[in-house]
């Protein structure tokens, strides 16, 4: 089969009998290396596309069970990893901390009365 069918749910890469590709013959039979070279991404692995698709799916806010069904996972662990990546929690937390530090630095500059380094008696 040389071309993808027009239906929205059509398979992009077909096996020898028109069904889904199997892992054992994907690279050889589907011409994956030719396809990746043609788009300027030689060495791209199919799993990278799966990972990207799963991350995009998780970013939609879909529930854990829906993601598991879409990804074909039996355990919640993998789906939760994609949800964490999609939320960007680490980047959000880091950005918030940076903003807080910068704001505090700005306030310190505003409070500077020119007496920096002067000892003040305690007690």
* pLDDT class of 109 with cuts at 50, 70, 90: low
Range of the domain at 74: 45-109
pLDDT value at residue 14: 73
The residue that leads in pLDDT, 15 or 41, is 41
118 in a structural domain: no
Residue 49: helix, strand or coil by DSSP?
Answer: helix
Q: Are residues 56 and 28 in the same domain?
A: no
Residues 6+ apart with CB under 8 A from 13: 21, 26, 30, 32
Q: For residue 37, what are the CA distances in angstroms to 32, 55, 69?
A: 8, 24, 32
**Rg of the chain in Å (alpha carbons):** 26
Q: What is the pTM of this model?
A: 0.47
Q: Are residues 90 and 34 in the same domain?
A: no
The residue that leads in pLDDT, 57 or 83, is 57
Task: List, for residues 58-79, the tens digit of each pLDDT value.
Answer: 888 788 888 888 888 888 887 7
Q: Are residues 3 and 16 in the same domain?
A: yes
122 in a structural domain: no
């Amino acid at each position: 089969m040389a071309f993808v069918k027009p239906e929205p749910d059509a398979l992009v890469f077909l096996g020898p009998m028109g069904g889904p590709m199997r892992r054992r013959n994907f690279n050889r039979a589907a011409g994956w290396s030719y396809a990746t070279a043609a788009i300027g991404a030689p060495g791209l692995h199919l799993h990278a596309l799966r990972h990207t698709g799963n991350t995009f799916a998780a970013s939609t806010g879909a529930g854990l069970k829906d993601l598991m069904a879409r990804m074909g996972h039996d355990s919640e662990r993998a789906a939760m990893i994609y949800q964490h990546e999609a939320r960007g929690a680490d980047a959000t937390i880091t950005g918030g901390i940076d903003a807080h530090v910068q704001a505090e630095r700005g306030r310190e500059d505003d409070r500077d009365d020119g007496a920096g380094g002067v000892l003040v008696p305690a007690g």
